[in-house]
Amino acid sequence: MQLRWTKEEARLYQLYAVGLHGKEYPRGKAGIRGCFRDLDTLQLDPLPVLGRNHDLVIQARVDGTHPGQALDLIHQERLGFEYWDKVLCAVPIEHFPLLRTLMQLGGNSWENRRETQLEKKHPGAIDVVYRAVEEHGPLSSRELGELDIAQDEHRAWKSTRVANGALEVLWNRGRISITHRTSYRRYFDLTERVIPKEHVEAESPSPGKLWHTWLVKRVRNVGLLPLRGDAEAWAFVRKARDKGLVEKLVECDKLALIEVKGIRQPFLAPPEAEEMLEVARDTSPDGRARFIAPLDPLLWCRRALVQLWDFEYAWEVYKPVKQRRWGYYVLPVLYGDRFVARFDGKYDREKRTLHIPAYHEEPNGLPRTHAAIEEAFKRFLNYLGGERIVFKAARKR
């Protein structure tokens, strides 16, 4: 199936596909449930500058939410589980059988290397930690320290002790799962004690079926997936491209190929993309400005962001200060089908004050004093639980 769209049509469709147009969610927990189900994945990130990334993704779509609420609800109600899906994500619970196939294949290749190193340098330690989780779980690395289990030094990504590394390996393999977080600290238990029985016992797909199903899922996550490039958006599903599955899925109408006027590269979309575009066309814009998370699915394809949206965005939190162009924790501002500004922000929880060091208006964008922008900042302050906003002088790009 092949379709030809204008850039305006592609943008409108993508907004609808990622829940930023044409979908009105209830406030609070009910809205979180519905939004998480529709997004079908929620990228997690630990930095708590304006809430965390996953909180920001939800607040752009659901009113009456607050930092920490979404992930707590996902774990408490077993709406989802944490695992690799592009990167670390909260994934709806019904996808556990799908991703268990990835677990059986070894999960993240980096964690496979960690596992090999641990077994070589500290033989038997992984099993010791597994037995500790079996006996004392749910527990975190802190409890393993208090129990003095596997506390030899082992420095690697996200770990300095053997116990920490062993927890990562066991989680990557699916032998243990994250049951909840406290102050973002992960607590683990045996997978069969965390994941509901019907999902643990459900049949998992073959490796070949995994790539087929996962690619279709990824396309739905972003709405439009560039056929080439945008490596980050293709994370974990590149094998589907290498195996020639893309062409097969397009030929059998499991995916649609979208050609956008003025862009040489085609995009992949769900087979019902044309119907989704029609619904989006028939839905009036709500007139809101929205603050978009740095790792929102709308921003996953950075090259496509430039091509389709004429908006260049880079998350600069890990850049040295002198190399930053826009600021430390910068959120794009969406209004209708345009990015109209971006701002750098930091929330002071003790003083309940939102500081905006910089507001950068895009060419033909909207100033901070525009009514829709002012209203968006009021909603954002409510999301943070704050009392006041302190702005520095605005700057036009």
Q: How far apart are CA 285 and CA 58, in angstroms?
A: 19
Q: Give the range of the structural domain holding residue 325, as residue numbers without chain letter.
A: 289-396
Structural domain contains residue 343? yes
Q: What is the DSSP secondary-structure string of 67-92?
A: TTHHHHHHHHTTSEEEEEESEEEEEE
Residues 6+ apart with CB under 8 A from 361: 340, 341, 367, 368, 394, 395, 396, 397
Q: How far apart are CA 49 and CA 317, in angstroms?
A: 10
Q: How far apart are CA 67 and CA 70, in angstroms?
A: 7
pLDDT of residue 146: 87
Structural domain contains residue 161? no
CA atoms within 13 A on the CB side of 241: 16
Q: What is the DSSP secondary-structure string of 192-236?
A: HHHS-HHHHSSPPPPHHHHHHHHHHHHHHHHS-EESS--GGGGTT
Angle separating helix axes 109-121 and 162-172, nearest 10 degrees? 140
Q: How far apart are CA 397 and CA 390, in angstroms?
A: 21
Structural domain contains residue 358? yes
Count of structural domains within the chain: 1
Q: How far apart are CA 43 and CA 251, in angstroms?
A: 31
Structural domain contains residue 359? yes
CATH of the domain at 347: 3.40.630
In order along its 397 residues, the chain shows pLDDT tens digits of: 899 999 999 999 999 999 999 999 999 999 999 999 999 999 999 999 999 999 999 999 999 999 999 999 999 999 999 999 999 999 999 999 999 999 999 999 888 888 999 999 999 999 999 999 999 999 999 999 988 887 876 666 566 689 999 999 999 999 999 999 999 999 999 999 999 999 999 999 999 899 999 999 999 999 999 998 778 899 999 888 777 899 999 999 999 999 999 999 999 999 999 999 999 999 999 999 999 999 999 999 999 999 999 999 999 999 999 999 999 999 999 999 999 999 999 999 999 999 999 999 999 999 999 999 999 999 999 999 999 999 986 555 5
Task: Give the single-character DSSP code of 25.
Answer: P
pLDDT of residue 397: 52
Structural domain contains residue 332? yes
Structural domain contains residue 334? yes
Structural domain contains residue 335? yes
